[in-house]
Structure 1
Amino acid sequence: MATETTSSEEEQDYPETSPYGAPGRLGVGGRGRPHSESPMDGRAMRRSSRGSFTRASLEDLLSIDPEAYQSSVWLGTEDGCIHVYQSSDNIRNRKNSMKMQHSAPILCILYLDNKVFVSLANGEVIVYQREAGSFWDAQSSQTLSLGTPSGPVTKMVPVGGKLWCGSQNRILIINTATLVQEHWFQVGTDSSRCVTCMVSYGQGVWLALQGSAQIRLYHAQTWESLTEVDVAPAVHKMLAGSDAIIRQHKAACLRITALLACKDLLWIGTSAGVVLTLSIPAVSSGTVSGTLRSPLTPMGSAHGHTGHVRFLTSIELPEGFDVNFPLPADTTAQSGVDGAIGGLQRRDSSHRRASALLPVKTNQLVISGGDGYEDFRLTNSSSETVGRDDSTNHLLLWRV
């Protein structure tokens, strides 16, 4: 995604000095939702008798600072730059509203409790805040030294009102109000393996270490290790029909590359291109190690990627949109994806009620992104398109 870096009247540069300057990994973008979480300026607090804002009060509110009450999108880059755009902007023809330059690559960006947490490759975490009725203040930030250049914070996830940060094989738990580290614990014994994937669901937190094919479940409140799940058997089963050399190569370097929790299912992306799902067990405040039902067995999807699964995410379909899934006869034309999307179309309410293509309560999609597309039900020898699209980025969409 190309971004303009030349200065203009619409962008502001806020360089930040740091003794660190080593290049590192590609940064991942994040998003903030400014206006709904912060108290509003007293000049705009006139309300109607029902308690809602009047039209006049909203107009006054926007006249104070229109940008302060719009959603923003934060993009972090490998050269240490953060670009902030209004979510309604077209970045092809609109300069960024704000730009902050750091001396280390951006690893991850997370919005939580009206703050934006930015992890840098030098081990620092920068916390950006804002005053009520104001846009993000790039010059008013705090720096937390949570990691080191050799062990930066590689993953940040909100868990029960706290911020869980993965640094090497340690989990640091940060109070987002005081920005003080309250607790930490170690995952495994190998400090050379950092936390690469982490998701929270209910009272449980699932995580995976670098180069590992195992998922670990921790209790969100007691920090106790509850169980471990090895995905290798399920992946090997899905690769049974592949070429022997490819199967051996994928099995030798198998690791977990993405995690997503959605509707009581844990979605697991792997370096082999196989997408797995695991039914998430119920974790309560009293759950301890050994009390979960066992075994927890992941199931593989017939549809996956030729190469690595790069990411997993889910979206909620907005009201007024239907998903046209192809009929079974059209599956091959849509790359054979489970519930492949034929198109998103806006329809009137009567048409939505009459549509039988999408169940009424199905309003979420799970999306995987990765290298190539592969139907694991087919053997390589039966496909005439082997290798043709292996390096082409694909999105696979599931209806959940």
Structure 2
Amino acid sequence: MNSLQNDQAPNHLRSILTHRTRPGLTFSVASPTLGKSTEGGAPNVWVCTTDKFSDQVAVVNVNGEPTIESSTGIGNATIITICPVPSPRKRRKMSVKPPVDEPSGNEIPGLELDSSSSGSDDSDSDSSRRNVQSTIWIGNDDGEIFVFNSLDNVRLKSREKMTRLPLPIDDIVYVDEKVFVSLSSSSHIQLLYFRRGKEGNWDMENSKTVRLDLRSRLRPMIAVVSRLCIASANSLYLINPSTTKIEKSAAVSSYPSDSVACMAAHGSTIFVAMNKSTIVKVVNAFTLDCLLEFSISHLINKTLSTQEDIIRQHKMGCLRISALLCCKNRLWIGTSAGIILNTNIASTKTNWTPTFNVCKAGHIGPCRFLTAVSVSSSA
């Protein structure tokens, strides 16, 4: 855990020791919930572990001393992705007004107002929507999606909904009142989305298909500048969530065999790392132009210089960027060497030279995920 105040370099607060409930379990993905916890403090963090045959979900309370509030087993396949989804938006009430030069008592031709209209029905629907909680969506490589209410105790209350799709889940992202899900197998790829029903609950039985002429799996995906950004092979695609059409696309690598490993968004900037790469590419989210790129290998090599030669050579030989996160104007980079870097994000990207801080708490294995939650300074 690290604390961060404005643009200051973060301070390492503490490491949280977790115990394996059975051999072989490793961390896979994690995400904070949206909104406050049941106690009214900081949101909880949902952490998933897997042994490739079964999975567990633990809910971590980060208010004060971090504690695991509840945990439960989920599914019999590897958890691939987790996505927090907010509660329904408030509906905008539309009113029909006569033209300003029209007396208020006159009727407007062609417009009939029924005094016994469905106002009460709309009121009931709005009331139901207000009671719908934010949710956590979890997808695995067996094609299953589990939906939990974010404030529920996962041990005491089972999932709210579950659906099984025909292909393994690759990623799940919420954009503009739709939840997009990418699926793939060795021979097929697919992009679906789910919408809410009238009362604000998600309609899991009637997914819609987005027609795309792409051949490589659609992962990772992020929401940026009110668009869905999808990586497929060595290219990025911006999709309008309303029309579900591709508005712009661009290759971020000149090598067709490359693929995007991870992405993070900060305002109108996308940070991209390719698979098995130590280079971060800085991309304009509107144009998909690559503004600059920088390598972290020299810094990792310097950090490992105090290690034994065999350890340093092994970690440098397979070094790659394994996770990216943008939080409070800082870019965080997780690596396969277990070393975590962070740097302040400059407002001007074209001539930016990152100045990195190295997290003092190293890890034996790779950094599997980075996630952020806002905690008060008194916590």
Q: TM-score, normalised by structure 1?
A: 0.65
The equivalent residue for 2:132 is 69
The equivalent residue for 1:118 is 181
State how far apart, in whole Å, the 2-side matches of 1:69 and 1:42 are: 20
The equivalent residue for 2:351 is 292
Pair 1:35-2:88 in alignment? yes
State how far apart, in whole Å, the 2-side matches of 1:213 and 1:147 are: 30
Q: CA deviation at 1:80?
A: 0.7
The equivalent residue for 2:8 is none
Q: Deviations over 1:318-345 (max 9, x none)?
A: 6xx833xxxxxxxxxxxxxxxxxxxxxx
Q: CA deviation at 1:243?
A: 1.0
Q: CA deviation at 1:120?
A: 1.0
The equivalent residue for 1:264 is 329
Q: CA deviation at 1:3?
A: 4.7
Query: CA separation of 1:4/1:166 partners in 2, compared to 1, >3 Å: closer, same or farther?
Result: closer
Q: CA deviation at 1:45?
A: 6.8
Alignment of 1:1-400 (within 5 A): 1=56, 2-3=72-73, 26-36=79-89, 42-43=119-120, 62=127, 64=128, 69-122=132-185, 123-146=189-212, 151-283=216-348, 291-293=350-352, 295-317=353-375, 322-323=378-379
- Write the letter of the residue equivalent to 1:322: S
The equivalent residue for 2:9 is none
- Write the letter of the residue equivalent to 1:180: K
Question: Which has a greater percent of helix?
Answer: 1
Q: CA deviation at 1:169?
A: 0.8
Q: CA deviation at 1:26?
A: 4.2
User: Which residues of structure 1 form unaligned runs of 5+?
Assistant: 7-22, 47-56, 324-400
Q: Judge conservation of contact 1:71–1:87 (CA < 8 Å) in 2.
A: yes
Q: CA deviation at 1:301?
A: 2.2
Q: Deviations over 1:219-276 (max 9, x none)?
A: 1222211111100011111101111100001011110001111122111000011111
State how far apart, in whole Å, the 2-side matches of 1:225 and 1:5 are: 40
- Write the letter of the residue equivalent to 2:276: G
State how far apart, in whole Å, the 1-side matches of 2:181 and 2:267 are: 25
Q: TM-score, normalised by structure 2?
A: 0.68
Q: CA deviation at 1:315?
A: 0.1
Q: Deviations over 1:165-209 (max 9, x none)?
A: 011111011001111111110011222221111111122111101
Query: CA separation of 1:127/1:42 partners in 2, compared to 1, >3 Å: closer, same or farther?
Result: farther
Q: SS at the partner of 1:322?
A: coil
State how far apart, in whole Å, the 2-side matches of 1:279 and 1:310 are: 22
User: Which residues of structure 2 form unaligned runs of 5+?
Assistant: 1-55, 57-71, 94-117
Q: CA deviation at 1:140?
A: 2.3
State how far apart, in whole Å, the 2-side matches of 1:142 and 1:5 are: 24
Q: SS at the partner of 1:314?
A: coil
Q: Deviations over 1:78-113 (max 9, x none)?
A: 211011122222222323222110122112111111
State how far apart, in whole Å, the 1-side matches of 2:372 and 2:129 are: 32
How many residues were matched structurally? 282
- Write the letter of the residue equivalent to 2:362: G
- Write the letter of the residue equivalent to 1:242: Q
Q: CA deviation at 1:299?
A: 3.1
State how far apart, in whole Å, the 2-side matches of 1:251 and 1:35 are: 46
State how far apart, in whole Å, the 2-side matches of 1:154 and 1:118 are: 10
The equivalent residue for 2:50 is none
The percentage of counterpart residues that share the same residue type is 31
Root-mean-square deviation (CA), in Å?
Answer: 2.7
Q: SS at the partner of 1:103?
A: coil
Query: CA separation of 1:69/1:297 partners in 2, compared to 1, >3 Å: closer, same or farther?
Result: same
Q: CA deviation at 1:118?
A: 0.9
Query: CA separation of 1:36/1:309 partners in 2, compared to 1, >3 Å: closer, same or farther?
Result: same
State how far apart, in whole Å, the 2-side matches of 1:72 and 1:39 are: 22
Q: Deviations over 1:347-389 (max 9, x none)?
A: xxxxxxxxxxxxxxxxxxxxxxxxxxxxxxxxxxxxxxxxxxx
Query: CA separation of 1:39/1:114 partners in 2, compared to 1, >3 Å: closer, same or farther?
Result: farther
Q: Judge conservation of contact 1:26–1:105 (CA < 8 Å) in 2.
A: no
Query: CA separation of 1:80/1:205 partners in 2, compared to 1, >3 Å: closer, same or farther?
Result: same
Q: SS at the partner of 2:173?
A: strand
Q: Deviations over 1:260-301 (max 9, x none)?
A: 111221110000111111221214xxx7xxx424x3343322
Q: Judge conservation of contact 1:106–1:120 (CA < 8 Å) in 2.
A: yes
Q: Judge conservation of contact 1:3–1:91 (CA < 8 Å) in 2.
A: no
The equivalent residue for 2:38 is none
- Write the letter of the residue equivalent to 1:35: P
Query: CA separation of 1:162/1:99 partners in 2, compared to 1, >3 Å: closer, same or farther?
Result: same
- Write the letter of the residue equivalent to 1:198: M
